[in-house]
Structure 1
Amino acid sequence: MTEPDLDTPVLDDHLHLDPDNGRGLDAVRDFRRLGGTHLLVVNKPSWHLGVEAETGDDFRAVFDRTLDIVADADDLLPGRAWPVLGVHPGLISRLVDERGFAPDEARDLMRAGLDAAAEYVRDGRALALKSGRPHYDTTDAVWDASNAVLKHALALGADADCAVQLHTEASEDLTDIAEWAEARGLPARKVVKHYAGPTLAGPTPSVMCRKEWLREAAESGAPFLMETDFVDDPDRPGAVMGPKTVPRRVRALLDEGYDDAIRRAHVETPADVYGIDTEATLSARTNA
């Protein structure tokens, strides 16, 4: 059953879609039925799509497959779907631990993959970049190589004038990364911490949709986004959150009187961070 439309854009800032092995467009339909309007779809880790990259150009198969599913999702939504492309930071461990790469070799391959992703942003086929560093313990060499990759992504974001979504360790203070961004010409607000809690110094938080976290973010008055990190993996059916979660949480927050916070998360912050107009893209589809 389709829920009554919400009188606001509803954006899930970070989720994955697997057109071949996961729920794919059925997940998008669930999102829309509950009132969802806009999606930022991040490419799955390259090895999850069967790509064991040897060169930067090898990542293009992952990016192109993502563009295909985003185009199909876009057709289903009353608003828009946009692709976010990049190299998952966990790839460095796969390269070093399983494929025999030295950390500096892994660094160079991952930076080359980000170079390819940035081309898609520059030509208008993608909205933003994705990078980060491991959220688990690593050797100093792997950590240093990962930070070099992350800094390269920030420089590419500055050059392409786009936001950079980050997968990092859990933290309430990432001012170091914000300072790296600013030093490279990328405003800190255009660095987005994916899978964030409600409190974060430095980047813009993309808050996981736990009810208590969202209430705290709503009451803070600070910019924030909302996400599920839906992984679309049939082998992990209960992992993270499902595609219905963001519209459900929006309804609940509106019922509790957090109208200003919903506007902040789904209209104002997306405009400031990504340069997208969720109201205009929604009304254009509605009135078409």
Structure 2
Amino acid sequence: MIDDENDERPVLDNHLHLDPDAHRGIDAVRDFARLGGTHLLVVNKPSWHLGVEADTGEDFRPVFERTIDIVSDATAELPGRAWPVLGVHPGLISRLVDDRGYSPDEAREIMQGGLDVAAEFVARGEALALKSGRPHYDVSEAVWDASNAVTCHAFEHGSELGCAVQLHAEATEDMTAVAEWAEDRGLPAHKVVKHYAAGRLNGPTPSVMSDKDRLERAAERAVEHDAPFLMETDYVDDPDRPGAVLGPKTVPRRVRWLLESGHEQAVHTAHVDTPALVYGIDTEGTLERA
């Protein structure tokens, strides 16, 4: 457990997945809370992992609804709360083009349609943010261009709704061009969040994978440059890959390690200041300890 004097501290995992049917689900949330975790941003699993092979944007609706259901259940287990992040995994474009015979433009239309549906949930206050991005592996130029168009479509929704957009993308420490695409559409760069980020990133706000080396770099940068960052596990809740990517206990454990290493301000940045800046959420005000 986190030490008693830190019992009132928010501890947020910014990006993980929960399977509503097939794996640990709420048990993973209980593990997170037991170690001192308080808040979660739960991203819907890829649509095909929940048995949905989308042909239209409307086909994503049950994926989003199931995610919202398990987020509600997760909130009941937390001293803080959980929020849904809804969108279309960028890897879907390869599934649509390579496996199902759609053209890149047709795949783009399906994926943009899914984002349109996700945006409905954000507009109604049922979800906090959107998810989009582009493949982190080599693809054809046509697929790359279509993926970037999908990403920009998410930015347009983010601008209209005033919400953040989490991105799944290639490993890099410089996404200034992508952040500029967002700003060109009226979405501030700090509301673009690169999930699975390293400890340093130019452009969007980094959601840093919670291994010690990355967090050390992020913590130092937060202090030296007043740079925002978030912490995540990208826990996938997959019965075929138990514990992947990092387990649900990781963020609370890494918060304790950061505090023991003297990174008090960086912890506050990641779990209070940055969530407020990026998402407009109050992790302190929504925290109730028994």
Normalised TM-score (structure 2): 0.96
How many correspondences in the alignment? 284
Matched to 2:240, the amino acid is D
**How far 1:286 sits from its partner (Å)?**
3.3
Q: Is the 8 A contact 2:132 2:167 kept in 1?
A: yes
Q: Is the 8 A contact 1:9 1:37 kept in 2?
A: yes
Q: What's the counterpart of residue 256 of structure 1?
A: 261
Q: What's the counterpart of residue 239 of structure 1?
A: 244
Q: What's the counterpart of residue 270 of structure 2?
A: 265
> Are 1:279 and 2:288 matched, yes or no?
no
Q: Is the 8 A contact 2:134 2:169 kept in 1?
A: yes
Query: Following the alignment from structure 2 to structure 1, what is the Cα–Cα distance between the partners of residues 61 and 33?
Result: 29
SS in 1 for 2:24: coil
Query: Following the alignment from structure 1 to structure 2, what is the Cα–Cα distance between the partners of residues 108 and 44?
Result: 20
SS in 1 for 2:186: coil
Query: Following the alignment from structure 1 to structure 2, what is the Cα–Cα distance between the partners of residues 119 and 3?
Result: 38
Q: What's the counterpart of residue 96 of structure 2?
A: 95
Q: Is the 8 A contact 2:2 2:256 kept in 1?
A: no
- Deviation string 1:181-222 (CA, Å, 9 cap, x unpaired) is 000000000000000000100000000001011011101121
Query: Following the alignment from structure 1 to structure 2, what is the Cα–Cα distance between the partners of residues 9 and 3?
Result: 11
SS in 2 for 1:234: coil
Q: What's the counterpart of residue 176 of structure 1?
A: 177
Q: Is the 8 A contact 2:87 2:132 kept in 1?
A: yes
**How far 1:4 sits from its partner (Å)?**
4.8
Query: Following the alignment from structure 1 to structure 2, what is the Cα–Cα distance between the partners of residues 253 and 80?
Result: 23
Query: Following the alignment from structure 2 to structure 1, what is the Cα–Cα distance between the partners of residues 3 and 47?
Result: 37
Query: Following the alignment from structure 2 to structure 1, what is the Cα–Cα distance between the partners of residues 9 and 231?
Result: 14
Matched to 2:82, the amino acid is A
Query: Following the alignment from structure 1 to structure 2, what is the Cα–Cα distance between the partners of residues 114 and 40?
Result: 18
Q: Is the 8 A contact 1:161 1:186 kept in 2?
A: yes
SS in 2 for 1:278: coil
- Deviation string 1:15-73 (CA, Å, 9 cap, x unpaired) is 00002111000000000000000000000000000001111111000000000000000
SS in 2 for 1:125: coil
Query: Following the alignment from structure 1 to structure 2, what is the Cα–Cα distance between the partners of residues 286 and 232?
Result: 26
> Are 1:31 and 2:32 matched, yes or no?
yes
Query: Following the alignment from structure 1 to structure 2, what is the Cα–Cα distance between the partners of residues 213 and 84?
Result: 23
Q: What's the counterpart of residue 62 of structure 1?
A: 63
Q: Is the 8 A contact 2:235 2:243 kept in 1?
A: no
Q: Is the 8 A contact 2:85 2:127 kept in 1?
A: yes
Query: Following the alignment from structure 1 to structure 2, what is the Cα–Cα distance between the partners of residues 3 and 187?
Result: 34
Q: What's the counterpart of residue 150 of structure 1?
A: 151
Query: Following the alignment from structure 2 to structure 1, what is the Cα–Cα distance between the partners of residues 74 and 206?
Result: 25
> Are 1:72 and 2:73 matched, yes or no?
yes
Query: Following the alignment from structure 1 to structure 2, what is the Cα–Cα distance between the partners of residues 257 and 238?
Result: 28
Q: Is the 8 A contact 2:86 2:118 kept in 1?
A: yes
Normalised TM-score (structure 1): 0.97
Q: What's the counterpart of residue 235 of structure 2?
A: 230
**How far 1:3 sits from its partner (Å)?**
5.5
Matched to 2:269, the amino acid is R
Q: What's the counterpart of residue 127 of structure 2?
A: 126
SS in 2 for 1:279: coil
Query: Following the alignment from structure 1 to structure 2, what is the Cα–Cα distance between the partners of residues 183 and 3?
Result: 42
Q: Is the 8 A contact 2:8 2:289 kept in 1?
A: no
SS in 2 for 1:111: helix
Query: Following the alignment from structure 1 to structure 2, what is the Cα–Cα distance between the partners of residues 10 and 3?
Result: 10
Query: Following the alignment from structure 2 to structure 1, what is the Cα–Cα distance between the partners of residues 265 and 43?
Result: 27
Structure 1 residues without counterparts, runs of 5 or longer? none
Query: Following the alignment from structure 1 to structure 2, what is the Cα–Cα distance between the partners of residues 223 and 274?
Result: 12
